[in-house]
Amino acid sequence: MSSRLESLNTWVAEVARLTRPQAVHWCDGSEAEYRALLARMQADGTLLPLNPDTHPDSYLHRSHPDDVARVEHLTFVCTRAREDAGPNNNWMAPAEAHAKMDALFDGCMQGRTLYVIPYCMGPIDSPLSRCGVEITDSPYVVANMRIMTRMGAPALARIEREGHFVKGLHSIGELDPERRFIMHFPEELTIKSYGSGYGGNALLGKKCHALRIASWQARQEGWLAEHMLIVGVETPDGQVHYIAAAFPSACGKTNLAMLIPPERYRRAGWKVWTIGDDICWMRPGPDGRLYAINPEAGFFGVAPGTSARSNPNAMATIRANTIFTNVALTADHQPWWEGIDDGKLPAVDWRGRPYDPANGPAAHPNARFTVSAKQCPSYSPMAEHPQGVPISAIVFGGRRASLVPLVFQARDWAHGVLIGASMGSETTAAATGAVGVMRRDPMAMKPFCGYNFADYFAHWLSFDRPGARLPAIFHVNWFRKGQDGRFLWPGFGENLRVLEWIIKRVNGQASAIDTPIGLLPRQTDLDLEDLPLSDEARTTLFEFDREGWRAELASIGQELDRYGARLPAALRQQQQRIAKALG
């Protein structure tokens, strides 16, 4: 091996001495290696083959019943100074965290294989990409990392060339919830994760590297690592506008990334291209615009609610070569989940028990599918472009049953940063804890920002400089409810009507009403033709509730107070400007 790899060889040897595995395997990412891993997991029962006629080369994995979601309360950012982690993160001193983790890792891989996974986040030849190495004792993690990243020999060659990488050490341990921690050491570009086999806790290239560590790297190096989908919208005249959108987990990111235009739009020539559904890395280009890559190579999507009606592209994507986690099974071994709407019934629930509604949902609410992005019918070849795609608009959004209109536009970049910083959403099943509680989730990064949010907001504001041609910023809310508690907006493919207005605003082709909270469309500014909206929907989705927004701005002010003196003055000024305009 190259002398450049001395630091990697040394680290692997140190981990092997600590964890004492039965064998060490350096992953090359080959098809033969993948087949051997699948065979090994089928042999020990951790992977079950699905119906080969309906879902060829697809498998079911069942995680431990106590290991089914991200564990935010056990996730730490370990910086030398506590203030650098900020009030948005759990903090532990690095020396204490290393000691705690190394005690857990001591001898934990006895009788197991230690896998070394070199991987690249982003196209292998992109200057925006960053590499890492995950060490794990989980074949399930290796198989998923092969789908989710550019893993193996090409990544190792880039690491040899560059001489640096993010270190990730993972063990499933005993899967004991009392012995489970996910530690991040941003100053050391290091991750240590113990006691969980669940995706967000165990696939260290995903949230741990691509968001928590990368957000720290991005601040040092002058770019942005964001919890955003990237979608290309092609207008009938052949122009493609790329939009980055930040929504909390299970708020429709994958649906929007794979949107299928309504029939009338399709006939007119509109097309939608999928770049990514979860993570976006953006860097200013020489022309002053922000250029984005999707650092991932696959989708780790939420299965429940995914159907031929809600997301036909996702259903087509997962027809083959897919690893399902914690879904139910039909009698003929097809994957099943609530909302699949295929007319079948589950025979076995996600725990492997005969299905009984008394035991709760058949599929876990956070059940997942892992699949290559290239299988998506709307996959864009631009997803592999080393320079990334230029971003025309950034969209923030969350689940808000009341107050927040269907769409509005920020006045300028600083106002847009406040809109992102004050985002609120009702919680979902992607994280442990109560569901349906409204919480602030700035830029949908609350669980994922690797440093103090006040510094993160300042970093966002710093992009507004001479020569910058920054994207316009918008906020959407697909989840407004009527008096009867039902959603007022049909969502799914119809969301293209909102994206059309956004693109027209970017191009200076659509009007808007100026309000204290931003620029709102009138009903007539959106194409609502053929859309069966109730009178209540037509009024409520476009209304501006001054009294309600006064209370919202007061709540936002209290949220900003949490960050103390580190909060950028520009954000406080924006909040006060809007509060004053509301009267």
Give pLDDT tens digits for 149-161: 999 999 999 999 9
Model confidence at 414: pLDDT above 70: yes
Which pLDDT score, from 0 to 100, does residue 433 have?
A: 67
Structure token pair of residue 378: 């709307």
269 is in an annotated binding site: no
Does 94 reside within a domain? yes
Nearest by Cα to 413 from 464, 449, 454: 464
Asked if 277 and 319 sit in the same domain, the reply is no
Asked if 276 contacts 257 with a C-beta cutoff of 8 angstroms, the reply is yes
At 215, which CATH number?
A: 3.40.449.10
At 371, which CATH number?
A: 2.170.8.10
495 is in an annotated binding site: yes
Confidence bin at 567 (pLDDT 50/70/90): very high
Q: How far apart are CA 95 and CA 84, in angstroms?
A: 16
Does 532 reside within a domain? yes
Asked if 452 and 402 sit in the same domain, the reply is yes
Model confidence at 72: pLDDT above 50: yes
Range of the domain at 359: 299-375
Asked if 19 and 123 sit in the same domain, the reply is yes
Q: Which residues contact 123 (CB under 8 A, 6 or more apart)?
A: 129, 150, 293, 383, 384, 385, 386
Does 393 reside within a domain? yes
Does 569 reside within a domain? no
Asked if 375 contacts 297 with a C-beta cutoff of 8 angstroms, the reply is no
Confidence bin at 430 (pLDDT 50/70/90): low
288 is in an annotated binding site: no
The mean predicted confidence, pLDDT, of the chain is: 96
Model confidence at 4: pLDDT above 60: no
Asked if 337 and 384 sit in the same domain, the reply is no
Asked if 101 and 174 sit in the same domain, the reply is yes
Does 61 reside within a domain? no
**pTM beyond cutoff 0.85:** yes
200 is in an annotated binding site: yes
Q: How far apart are CA 284 and CA 290, in angstroms?
A: 4
Give pLDDT tens digits for 237-258: 999 999 999 998 778 899 999 9
Model confidence at 570: pLDDT above 80: yes
The conformation of residue 355, written as its DSSP 8-state character, comes to P
Does 322 reside within a domain? yes
436 is in an annotated binding site: no
Asked if 159 and 275 sit in the same domain, the reply is no
Asked if 313 and 273 sit in the same domain, the reply is no
Q: How far apart are CA 108 and CA 110, in angstroms?
A: 6
Asked if 332 and 210 sit in the same domain, the reply is no
Asked if 234 and 350 sit in the same domain, the reply is no
Which pLDDT score, from 0 to 100, does residue 271 have?
A: 98
Structure token pair of residue 299: 């989708």
Does 574 reside within a domain? no
Q: State which of 319, 348, 375 marks the end of a domain.
A: 375
Which pLDDT score, from 0 to 100, does residue 2 have?
A: 46
Catalytic residue numbers, as ranges: 251
Model confidence at 569: pLDDT above 70: yes
Model confidence at 1: pLDDT above 50: no
Structure token pair of residue 20: 């004492």
Number of structural domains (the chain) is 3
Give pLDDT tens digits for 494-529: 999 999 999 999 999 999 999 999 999 999 999 999
Does 361 reside within a domain? yes
Asked if 99 and 21 sit in the same domain, the reply is yes
Which pLDDT score, from 0 to 100, does residue 432 have?
A: 62
538 is in an annotated binding site: no
Model confidence at 17: pLDDT above 80: yes
367 is in an annotated binding site: yes
Asked if 369 and 256 sit in the same domain, the reply is no
Q: Which amino acid is at 241?
A: H
Give pLDDT tens digits for 80-126: 999 999 999 999 999 999 999 999 999 999 999 999 999 999 999 99
Q: Which residue has the tokens 């986690």?
A: 325
Asked if 303 and 289 sit in the same domain, the reply is no
Structure token pair of residue 227: 């919890």
Q: State which of 348, 375, 402 marks the end of a domain.
A: 375
Which pLDDT score, from 0 to 100, does residue 428 have?
A: 65
Q: State which of 334, 358, 375 marks the end of a domain.
A: 375
Give pLDDT tens digits for 330-389: 999 999 999 999 999 999 999 999 999 999 999 999 999 999 999 999 999 999 999 999
Which pLDDT score, from 0 to 100, does residue 71 have?
A: 87
